[in-house]
Amino acid sequence: MNKAAFDDYIKNRYEEQMSYYAKSSRENRDKYKKFQWALIILSASAPVLVAIDGLKIEVTNTFWIMLHIKIFVVIITASVAILTTALKTFNYFENYVNYRNTREEMKREIHLYDFRIGDYGEHGVHREALFVQRIESILDKEHSQWPASKKLKDQANGKGEYEPVVVAPPAVADPTITDDNADVNADTPPPPPEAPVDDAEEVKP
């Protein structure tokens, strides 16, 4: 790999992926925090509302207000269930950790390359080729954790190339062939039919 090709890889592949993982990590972190704060506030407010349900508030000597807030408690409880399910479904925290770890691994690799540390400092090693190989290995490891729906979405957006896997139907085994005589039946032709024996021509001893 020449210098121009390596510089192009750094600019159009490495730096682009670093920006993508930084942005994705930040977005998933912010969503996770918002969902968590909403869960904390709603979960804490539900028992308070239950406690004051039916409370009478006297405005004047002849006028008072009774609080009927059971419907709000039901709405809050349903909202907590929805938010909890959304966190488990969209995996904001797991995505945040995964994207951050991938970016940190890529950042570590560029430092090892620049300072010729480890395998990059060995004699006769093609540093640029080794760097590209390791970066692609890190990306492949992260991509393998994506669900199928995300892979198809990124493929449609041109962020990745994934070939569809075609699964061939299972072969139907021949019931007349067993494991013991499979090789013999495949290589040995069937024996010729036996000639009929005439009882009249049978030679007596």
The tens digit of pLDDT for each residue in 56-106 reads 666 666 555 566 788 888 899 999 999 999 999 999 999 999 999 999 999
**HSE on the CB side for 72, CA within 13 Å?**
15
The tens digit of pLDDT for each residue in 106-126 reads 999 999 999 999 999 999 999
Residue 64 structure tokens = 């008072």
Quick one: pLDDT at residue 165? Answer: 35
Instruction: Please determine, for residue 135, whether its predicted confidence score (pLDDT) is greater than 70.
Output: yes
Quick one: pLDDT at residue 168? Answer: 39
Indicate left, alpha or beta for 51 from its phi (over 0: left) and psi (-120 to 50: alpha).
Answer: alpha
As a whole number of angstroms, the distance between CA 21 and CA 138 comes to: 12
Instruction: Please determine, for residue 180, whether its predicted confidence score (pLDDT) is greater than 60.
Output: no
Instruction: Give this prediction's pTM.
Output: 0.65
The tens digit of pLDDT for each residue in 20-69 reads 999 999 999 999 999 999 999 999 998 888 888 777 666 666 555 566 78
Q: 77: Cβ–Cβ under 8 A, 6 or more apart, which residues?
A: 46
Q: 69: Cβ–Cβ under 8 A, 6 or more apart, which residues?
A: 49, 52, 53
168-174 average pLDDT score: 42
Q: 121: Cβ–Cβ under 8 A, 6 or more apart, which residues?
A: none
Instruction: Please determine, for residue 205, whether its predicted confidence score (pLDDT) is greater than 90.
Output: no
